[in-house]
């Protein structure tokens, strides 16, 4: 290896400032041929937590390292990946799972440092934005609804996406802001664990979501009446359920790692109202039958022990063996009049989202569903399929409500590919449905 102490590396990022879903070209130049350089990435995310990664590269004959072309020779990831330094980040001295800024209208800043073996350093930076220029954010507290509205720049009307979070609850503002950055009016609607709402998912009335859908139609006046619902995990289950229950209000369903069954409250349940086996959804004051309701094959219970279960999803396979109950708990997705997009990971260890998605596709096919149906199923991806170019290293976590540990599954590399591929697929799906004729 040739070492040149006088080399003066330069870090360049193209583009240096852009939306979070925009890939960047990171290049270090000015090195000696074959010189080793360590490149680190440092990002301050929600709560002031620092996330960090590092990888070492060998320069080419021109003294250049290009992350779109070059695999590291060591470090936190091991493949050619333009954004590998971002998705391989881990929190420093923290178990934080929060990937986005506290204020979604502000960008995430990642500081890049290149350092040679003789201690010569160069720095660069990139900004990742969730909200494009001109996107407006407005808190909604009307008709008992709790949410945040993101409106794109430019004149409307716009197609609308109602964004639902999973069993962590709250309001999914990051996805809402990014949908708006791509031209959709996005209503990020909380349904529990949000200001003024129950801290638990237990006995959530579907009428609350119906109110939200009606509000979106009446107030937002969507272009061509187009209203999609998009949610992940329990929000994916809910999106499918809403499509089946209120078919005249929903044009498209986007279900990330969804359930095809109605499930009990599980980790987001109220201990005082049935806990893990409590009722999740009600309609007309009546509980919807769920898979843990006197299941003859298995009893749902929180995992015991300190280590996260390696395959938490096994209990769901056991639960489906009560075929009579499974038939009653099944979401009647054939009732929907919407286009349907399903996103799943083949190594989902939280619950079997790949199987559940295939069940939905099969049901719609048997019923000759006349609208677009698409299933994106990703190798080496788990339950936590996110937006592109965020850390994908936190494979095990505590549930944010119950604090019970579980494993999401997948690999950091596989999850990163699913993050990007699923988002590209979602945008293509929505574009196909909302593109003006002609």
Catalytic residues: 233, 348, 383
Gap between the terminal Cα atoms of the chain: 59
Contact 344, 236 (CB under 8 A): no
255 by Cβ neighbours in 10 Å (0-12 / 13-18 / 19+) ranks as buried
Handedness of CA 317, 322, 325, 331 (dihedral sign): positive
Side-chain-facing half-sphere of 246: CA atoms under 13 Å: 22
Buried (b) or exposed (e) across 185-203, using 16+ Cβ within 10 A? bbbbbbbbbbeebbebbbb
Give me the helix-helix angle, 206-215 and 234-245, nearest 10°. 70
User: Pick from 268, 271, 207: which is nearest to 241 by CA?
Assistant: 207
CA distance 308 to 350: 11
Q: What three-state secondary structure class fits 380? A: coil
Side-chain-facing half-sphere of 274: CA atoms under 13 Å: 21
Handedness of CA 124, 394, 359, 163 (dihedral sign): negative
Contact 39, 125 (CB under 8 A): no
């Amino acid at each position: 290896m040739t070492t040149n102490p006088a080399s003066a590396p330069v870090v360049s990022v193209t583009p240096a400032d852009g939306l979070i879903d925009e890939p960047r070209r990171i290049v270090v130049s000015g090195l000696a041929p074959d010189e080793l350089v360590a490149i680190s990435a440092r990002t301050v995310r929600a709560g002031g937590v620092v996330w960090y990664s590092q990888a070492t590269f060998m320069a080419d004959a021109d003294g250049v390292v290009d992350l779109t072309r070059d695999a590291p020779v060591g470090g936190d990831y091991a493949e050619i990946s333009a954004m590998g330094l971002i998705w391989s980040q881990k929190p420093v001295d923290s178990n934080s799972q929060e990937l986005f800024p506290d204020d979604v209208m502000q960008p995430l800043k990642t500081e890049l440092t290149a350092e040679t073996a003789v201690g010569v350093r160069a720095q660069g930076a990139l900004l990742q934005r969730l909200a494009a220029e001109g996107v407006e954010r407005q808190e909604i507290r009307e008709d008992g609804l709790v949410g945040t509205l993101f409106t794109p720049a430019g004149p409307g009307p716009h197609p609308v996406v109602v964004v639902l979070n999973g069993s962590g609850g709250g309001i999914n503002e990051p996805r809402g802001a990014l949908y708006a950055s791509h031209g959709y009016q996005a209503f990020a609607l909380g349904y529990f664990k949000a200001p003024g709402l129950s801290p638990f998912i237990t006995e959530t009335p579907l009428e609350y979501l119906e109110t939200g859908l009606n509000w979106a139609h009446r107030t937002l006046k969507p272009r061509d009446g187009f209203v999609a619902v998009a949610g992940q995990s329990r929000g994916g289950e809910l999106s499918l359920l809403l499509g089946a229950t209120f078919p005249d209000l929903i044009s498209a369903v986007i279900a990330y790692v969804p359930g095809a069954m109605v499930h009990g409250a599980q980790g987001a349940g109220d201990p005082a109202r049935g806990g893990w086996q409590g009722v999740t959804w009600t309609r007309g004051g009546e509980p919807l039958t769920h898979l843990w309701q006197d299941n003859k094959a298995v009893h749902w219970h929180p995992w015991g022990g300190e280590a996260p279960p390696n395959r938490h999803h096994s209990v769901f396979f056991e639960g489906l063996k009560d075929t009579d109950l499974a038939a009653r708990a099944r979401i009647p997705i054939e009732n929907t009049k919407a286009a349907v997009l399903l996103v799943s990971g083949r190594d989902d260890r939280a619950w079997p989202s790949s199987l559940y998605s295939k069940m939905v596709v099969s049901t719609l096919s048997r019923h000759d569903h006349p609208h677009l149906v698409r299933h994106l199923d990703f190798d080496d991806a788990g339950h936590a399929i996110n937006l592109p170019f965020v850390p994908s290293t936190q494979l095990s976590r505590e549930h944010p409500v119950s604090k019970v540990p579980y494993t999401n599954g997948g690999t950091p590399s596989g999850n990163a590919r699913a993050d990007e591929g699923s988002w590209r697929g979602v945008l293509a799906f929505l574009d196909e449905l909302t593109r003006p004729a002609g």
